[in-house]
Copies of this chain bind each other. A is one copy, B any other.
Amino acid sequence: MEILEFTPRPEQYAWTFGGTAPTHRIKPGTVLRLWSDDAFAGRLRDITDLPSAALDARYLNPQTGPFHVEGAEPGDTLALHFVDMTPARSWGASATIPFFGGLTGTDRTATLQEPLAERTWIYQVDSTRNTVTFEARSSELSLELPMAPMLGTVGVAPALGEVRTSLVPDEFGGNMDTPEMRPGSTCYLGVNVEGALFSLGDGHYRQGEGESCGTAVEGAMNTTLVVELIKGGAPTWPRIEDDDHLMVIGSSRPLEDAWRAGQVDMVLWFSELFGLDRLDSYQLLSQTSQAPIANVVDTNYSVVTKVAKSLLPQTQVYGGMHRHLRETARLIAPR
């Protein structure tokens, strides 16, 4: 088992999907132990650090990678199995940023109102209790919330020669901001360019569905994952499999289009897996789908279509890749 550990230096951060030379070439089957900085590139460290002063729009959401996966060609499927995500700092940060977020006018949902006030929250991590602590700024309220590590951003180089900022989610993955991208999950991404060139970042110690204010409990993350390659079978939209669910993440605007994209892909997947025609798949999905919103704050919004395997006929997707990766994961010593 090849294991690669990598902590990028700040000048090695990637800020885009596509357009960046790979930091490493790896073989399918490689285990990666990666450190990623938080979405603020570590610039919000105290409640006195305000976004408008501390942040630079050109340097948000740094990615670790990209990784060139040997043998990956357009039309193939990259499988990324997340073994472990552990906070790499003892604190996480969240903030309201002027004209960014779900409950404010933005550059697109443009209004003439004054922006909401900026504010930064620092969450202390308690690794023993496995919690992060919300400290209200307007009262004495302090609340321990369960840690629930996830990666906001996982993606490959886009199609059509595009280069997209790491703030965008789309068919290539990217900044989907779904809590489903967590340890135990396998993410399937369609490969658009030779080597796939995937990267990851935007660790969240915890995030609500929708990421309402635009930022989660943002934190540097140590992530262990296994990388595999499936020849062919590229899905249109990112898919996630965990022990209990099949998922598709659609990203677009308006929000119903993000939902529609993921739903149609799941209907087609059902038909392929279960030998149903589209109408039967549509019907089955109608009675079994969960539909948790992922984000309503990014350049595209994201919605997860999620179905419990227990409701579906027994099946094996991508040749049993997820089970295989789960078994591989067990062989990896915890860091």
Contacts and interface: CB of A to CB of B under 8 A. Distances in A.
Interface of A: 15-16, 18-19, 57-58, 94, 96, 101-105, 107-117, 119, 121, 134, 136-139, 141, 143, 145-146, 160-165, 206-217, 236, 250, 252-257, 259-261, 263-265, 267, 274-280, 282-293, 296, 301, 303, 311-313
Given A165-B160, A209-B291, A215 B286 contact: yes
Contact of A58 (B112, B160, B217): B160
Contacts of A210: 259, 263, 286, 289, 291
11 contacts: A18-B163, A19-B163, A105-B111, A108-B257, A108-B260, A119-B279, A139-B280, A143-B312, A208-B290, A254-B254, A254-B255
Q: Which 5 A-B pairs have the closest CB atoms?
A: A208-B289, A254-B254, A138-B277, A255-B255, A163-B163
B260 A103 contact: yes
Contact of A111 (B104, B215, B287): B104
A325 B154 CA distance: 46
Given A111-B113, A214-B286, 14 more contacts: A19-B161, A102-B260, A103-B111, A104-B111, A139-B280, A141-B274, A160-B165, A163-B163, A208-B288, A210-B263, A213-B282, A213-B285, A254-B254, A293-B303
Contacts of A252: 108, 253
A252 B301 CA distance: 13
Nearest to A17: B162
Contacts of A253: 252-254, 256-257
Given A216-B287, A257-B110, A143 B263 contact: no
Nearest to A20: B161
B105 A263 contact: no
A112 B105 contact: no
A115 B117 CA distance: 14
A209 B275 contact: no
Given A143-B312, A259-B293, A206 B276 contact: no
Given A94-B286, A141-B274, A162-B163, A109 B257 contact: yes
Nearest to A106: B257
